[in-house]
């Protein structure tokens, strides 16, 4: 595959090459300008894939042939010969560990190397980091809203931007705190736990109990197999009587589907309740089958709802399960997990909390993978230094201004162990000292000096790529997931909250500030 790049990178590359500036040492930074979803924080993700992209960065003969066909015919042959020799072996990349909490305006990936290559890497790195960080952050918000105990399942394969987007969604939702995915390929490739039982189509494909084949199920402890459809059917009137619903309103195809599924997976029977009517059909059919299973010493593993008022229904279902459990003396019945899906958003989770609910597991698809609250993180990749000279972009939009110079990034912690500020310093400056007062300038009010005294100082970046190789061991996906949760848990509640969070201050040293002012004056 050709390097991921926009055409202007190649035309610029030719310009740099022709001017003999292609090997000038350069630094670039990757960051986003505003916290996503109106929160303060994001999770920085996509690093491992970015590093894989760096290792593979190379133009094939076919790529070069294609570029010849699209660049102006005056482009010199020697330039294409040069492109064919390029790789990322002279590039150094430092970054925050994947899954770390990151803030607007603070570079979380830095690239140093020959100008031409540093520029050519822009789109690839943005493409691999932008969505990864966005969806990991989105997932972490669902996790914060759901609390630690509810299981969260990613079910977005059919709603993502194609197969690859869906795989990214599965991978980075897991990092952000989801427990499992429905996507088999994500399970196979990344080892993410996969889950899934039945869909409406399975239930709709049955019309009567006569269709159930095979019909026998042996008790768990062994012994004579029993006619399971008959057993389930014998429970139905008793359940209907208890739940006060007419047996003739239960759908026979649905019962057949449940029975068939239970015979097939007696240890893993989950009932999807809403193909017809939950209260009058799905629920009594489920209870009848689950009680029949119980008679053979199996336990049903759950129910699922995919439409209607999920919180309200979950309470009604819990009540019915409790009633069955008590009446038929099946204690585990009342704890049968209730799973829900159906266009679940952050708002849905807030409503569930407000209404009260009995939900144990939530499947999130569209609102997780497409991030409708903000479908792009808007990361940018900016040159900050070329040939030892810091670069500055001054535009009409103040927000689009860049901060010049190659930097070291520190995170400052307070006595309670919460990070309270990220600080950008020039690379040559000494590290801030613990317990010592520090004069800094906070972004958004650069005109005044502020003083802070950090209890702990963390140097945020590590060098991950050097001499064409990944030079720092990369954690497993599960380790990244754990790191993300740990990183989030350090945040103070005021910074972590999803609505109207307290802004997280980002600052620069006095020295960096003076460089900025000096350059700004020189350029205006």
* Interface with a copy of itself in residues 111-140 (CB under 8 A): 115, 119, 122-123, 126-128, 130-132, 135
* Nearest to a copy of itself of 276, 328 (CB atom): 276
* Nearest to a copy of itself of 45, 96 (CB atom): 45
Can residue 169 be called a binding residue for a copy of itself (CB under 8 A)?
Answer: yes
Can residue 234 be called a binding residue for a copy of itself (CB under 8 A)?
Answer: no
The only residue of 210, 214, 446, 459 in contact with a copy of itself, by rule CB under 8 A: 214
Order the strands of the 338-340 sheet from edge to edge.
Answer: 180-181, 151-154, 361-364, 338-340, 302-305, 270-272
Nearest-angstrom CA–CA distance, 482 and 497: 20
Q: Which residues of 383-420 are buried (b: 16+ CB within 10 A; e: fewer)?
A: bbbbeeebbbeeeeeeeeebbbbbbbbbbbbeeeeebb
Can residue 345 be called a binding residue for a copy of itself (CB under 8 A)?
Answer: no
Which H helix or E strand runs over 185? helix 184-190
The only residue of 33, 89, 92, 187 in contact with a copy of itself, by rule CB under 8 A: 187
* Nearest to a copy of itself of 3, 454 (CB atom): 3
* Nearest to a copy of itself of 399, 448 (CB atom): 399
Can residue 5 be called a binding residue for a copy of itself (CB under 8 A)?
Answer: yes
The only residue of 196, 219, 337, 475 in contact with a copy of itself, by rule CB under 8 A: 196
List the structure tokens of 500. Answer: 């109207």
Can residue 382 be called a binding residue for a copy of itself (CB under 8 A)?
Answer: yes
For residue 108, report the phi and psi dihedrals to the nearest 5 degrees. -115, 5
* Nearest to a copy of itself of 202, 328 (CB atom): 202
- Least separation in angstroms between CB 430 and a copy of itself: 28
Among the listed ranges 86-94, 207-215, 289-297, 428-436, the one in contact with a copy of itself (CB under 8 A) is 207-215
Query: Restricting to residues 7-46, which ones interact with a copy of itself according to CB under 8 A?
Result: 7-12, 14-16, 18-21, 24, 26, 28
Q: Answer whether 316's CB lies under 8 Å from 274's CB.
A: no
Can residue 492 be called a binding residue for a copy of itself (CB under 8 A)?
Answer: no
Residue 191 gets the label, from left (phi > 0), alpha (psi -120 to 50) or beta, of left
Q: Answer whether 384's CB lies under 8 Å from 468's CB.
A: no
Query: Restricting to residues 61-80, which ones interact with a copy of itself according to CB under 8 A?
Result: 62-63, 66-67, 70, 72, 74
Residue 440 gets the label, from left (phi > 0), alpha (psi -120 to 50) or beta, of beta
Cis, peptide link before residue 477, omega less than 30° from 0: no
Q: Which of 31, 141, 136 is nearest to 460 (CA)?
A: 31
Can residue 422 be called a binding residue for a copy of itself (CB under 8 A)?
Answer: no
Nearest-angstrom CA–CA distance, 205 and 368: 30
- Least separation in angstroms between CB 425 and a copy of itself: 21
- Least separation in angstroms between CB 401 and a copy of itself: 10
The only residue of 80, 82, 190, 265 in contact with a copy of itself, by rule CB under 8 A: 265
């Amino acid at each position: 595959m050709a390097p991921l790049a926009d055409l202007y990178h190649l035309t610029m590359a030719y310009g740099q090459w022709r001017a003999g500036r292609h090997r000038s040492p350069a630094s670039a930074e990757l960051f986003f300008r505003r916290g996503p979803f109106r929160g303060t924080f994001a999770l920085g993700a996509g690093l491992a894939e970015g590093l894989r992209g760096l290792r593979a960065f190379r133009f094939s003969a076919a790529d070069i042939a294609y570029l010849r066909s699209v660049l102006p015919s005056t482009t010199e042959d020697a330039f294409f010969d040069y492109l064919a020799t390029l790789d990322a072996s002279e590039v150094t990349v430092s970054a925050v560990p994947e899954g770390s909490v990151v803030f607007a305006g603070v570079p979380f990936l830095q690239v140093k190397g020959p100008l031409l290559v540093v520029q050519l890497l822009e789109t690839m790195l943005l493409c691999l980091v932008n969505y990864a960080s966005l969806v990991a952050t989105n997932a972490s918000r669902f996790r914060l809203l759901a609390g630690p105990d509810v299981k969260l399942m990613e079910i977005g394969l059919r709603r993502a931007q194609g197969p690859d987007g869906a795989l990214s969604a599965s991978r980075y939702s897991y990092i952000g705190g989801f427990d499992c995915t429905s996507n088999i390929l994500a399970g196979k490739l990344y080892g993410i736990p996969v889950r899934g039982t039945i869909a409406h189509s399975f239930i709709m494909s049955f019309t009567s109990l006569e269709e159930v084949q095979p019909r026998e199920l042996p008790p768990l402890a062994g012994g004579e197999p029993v006619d399971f459809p008959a057993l389930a059917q014998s429970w139905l009137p008793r359940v209907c009587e208890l739940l006060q619903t007419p047996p003739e309103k239960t759908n026979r195809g649905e019962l057949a589907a449940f029975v068939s599924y239970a015979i097939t997976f007696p240890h893993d029977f989950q009932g999807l309740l809403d193909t017809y009517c939950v209260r009058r059909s799905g629920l009594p059919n489920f209870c009848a089958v689950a009680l029949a299973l119980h008679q053979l010493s199996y336990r049903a593993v759950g129910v699922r709802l995919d439409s209607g008022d999920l919180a309200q229904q979950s309470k009604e279902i819990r009540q019915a399960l409790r009633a069955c459990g008590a009446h038929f003396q099946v204690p585990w019945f009342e704890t049968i997990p209730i799973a829900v899906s159906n266009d679940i958003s952050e708002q849905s989770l807030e409503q569930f909390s407000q209404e009260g609910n009995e939900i144990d597991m939530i499947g999130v698809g569209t609102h997780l993978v497409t991030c409708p609250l903000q479908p792009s993180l808007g990361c940018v990749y900016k040159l900050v230094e070329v040939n030892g000279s810091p670069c500055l972009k001054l535009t009409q939009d103040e927000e689009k201004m860049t901060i010049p110079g190659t930097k070291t990034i520190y995170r400052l912690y307070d006595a309670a162990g919460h990070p309270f500020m990220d600080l950008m310093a020039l690379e040559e400056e000494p590290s801030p000292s613990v317990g010592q007062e520090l004069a800094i300038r906070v972004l958004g009010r650069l005109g005044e000096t502020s003083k802070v005294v950090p209890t702990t100082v963390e140097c945020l970046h590590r060098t991950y790529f050097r001499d064409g190789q990944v030079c720092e061991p990369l954690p497993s996906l599960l380790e990244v997931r754990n790191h993300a949760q740990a990183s989030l848990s350090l945040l103070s509640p005021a910074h972590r909250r999803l609505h109207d969070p307290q802004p997280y201050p980002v600052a620069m040293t006095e020295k960096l500030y003076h460089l900025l002012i000096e350059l700004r004056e020189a350029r205006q």
